[in-house]
Amino acid sequence: MNSTMLIPKAFERFSMVVWSFNAGSGFRSGPISYSVDGKQYILVPSGLGGLALGFATSAFPSLVGLPGGAALIAFTLED
């Protein structure tokens, strides 16, 4: 796996990983959280692209070859 790909992880006490997910690309910003009718949702904007990526690859060669595109990935806990 490319070391620049980020994988969100859920932790419990004592830093034990209890869940993880391979987003397939880097994150565009921090997570977003909201709730509807008492159910919490966490969204992660993922994907790289656009003109900025073209400039960034000269400064950060590890970005070359990362998958392009964009997605908003949503997570919630099961009831």
pLDDT at 3 over 50: no
Q: Are 47 and 25 in contact (CB under 8 A)?
A: yes
- Distance between CA atoms of 79 and 43, rounded to whole angstroms? 18
What contacts 28, CB < 8 A, 6 or more positions away?
A: 45, 46, 47, 48, 70
Confidence of residue 67 (pLDDT cuts 50, 70, 90): low
What contacts 40, CB < 8 A, 6 or more positions away?
A: 33, 34, 76, 77
State the residue for tokens 């590890």: 62
pLDDT at 35 over 80: yes
